[in-house]
Amino acid sequence: MSVPSIAFFNNKGGVGKTSLVYHLAWMFADLGVRALAADLDPQANLTAALLHDDDVERLWTADAGVNTIYRSVEPLVRGLGDVTRPASIAVGDMLSLVPGDLALSRFEGPLAEAWPKCADRDERALRVTSALFRAVSMAAQQDQADIVLVDLGPNLGALNRSALLAAEYMVVPVAPDLYSLLGLRNLGPTIREWRDQWTIRREQANGLGIELPVGRIRPLGYVVLQHAVRLDRPTRAYGRWLDRIPSEYSSSVLGENREDVPAVTADPHCLAMLKHYRSLMPMALESRKPVFHLKPADGAIGAHAAAVTAAYKDFERLARVIACGVGVPIRNSLPK
């Protein structure tokens, strides 16, 4: 995939991962970057956020005729063919979606069975393992996307292994709590193991003529989400865990054993620290738009209006950091 692809992943759920992908996709669109959001989470929450319920219902009916991500790989599940190009549904002028599907969980079994067979140059196994990569690549090419944002479920199963190998970069959303730290501890070694195993499998598959992902899974950094703030400082309950994130990320995800790990506010691997925006989220959900697109007509007046402006600046800053990290130029110099 020549288009930079970024997977947003943590095997600890409930950290706000889908909300982060949703808001960043809209922000990239605002900044003139043609974004493709790929929903590879079988829960399909990103699809539900970007599309209206009636559209989702029509999309998932048997006679819809629109390739969700599952319908794209279904020929491989049924043993009747190869991957087909999934739909790329326009959500905005510069934003489109590869729609998720609750049925994608059915692909977990074939992916698990295919993994060991890849080491034997089994062509079908390699096609199964690379299916998500090839499907999203087709959609990105069709849509002429500048960047691909991939939403994944919170587990270390075969489906996410295939999805992560398809991505060139990985951003890790974390919350300042014990469970996120333990999630990092599980995540890092597993990612490195998958990457090493895939490198061997890919080299052995040379000459078969199948388009395979490189599988670099480069850690781009982490984003701290939903931290409580009092007087511009994290509250003590969160601060205890916040202070441990840089060293845990460095050792577990990057595999570096350093004694001079900086504080989170000075850590170059910390891409952003985002507030919860509690008062804005209900308005955004009701209005079906990101928090930074809320208007006075949506109820964003007074302090809420100031919070909307702050949210825009937060997400714009994060989008620019990510764009710089993956080499994607920002076309719009000013926000809309």
Mean pLDDT per 10-residue segment, the chain (336 residues): 90 82 95 96 94 88 82 93 93 95 95 96 95 96 96 94 95 90 91 95 88 94 76 64 92 88 93 83 83 84 84 94 94 56
Predicted pLDDT at 300: 78
Predicted pLDDT at 336: 44
Predicted pLDDT at 327: 94
Q: Hey, what are 234's tokens?
A: 């994290």
Query: Any idea which fold 5-219+315-326 has?
Result: Rossmann fold (3.40.50)
Predicted pLDDT at 231: 45
Predicted pLDDT at 27: 96
Q: Structural domain boundaries of the chain?
A: 5-219+315-326
Q: Hey, what are 208's tokens?
A: 């078969």
User: Mapped to the 3 state alphabet, what secondary structure does the chain carry?
Assistant: CCCCEEEECCCCCCCCHHHHHHHHHHHHHHCCCCEEEEECCCCCHHHHHHCCHHHHHHHHCCCCCCCCHHHHHHHHHHCCCCCCCCCCEEEECCEEEECCCHHHHHHHHHHHHHHHHHCCCCHHHHHHHCHHHHHHHHHHHHHCCCEEEEECCCCCCHHHHHHHHCCCEEEEEECCCHHHHHHHHHHHHHHHHHHHHHHHHHHHCCCCCCCCCCCCCEEEEEEEECCCEECCEECHHHHHHHCCHHHHHHHHHCCCCCCCCCCHHHCCCEEEEECCCCCCHHHHHHHCCCHHHCCHHHCCCCHHHHHHHHHHHHHHHHHHHHHHHHCCCCCCCCCC
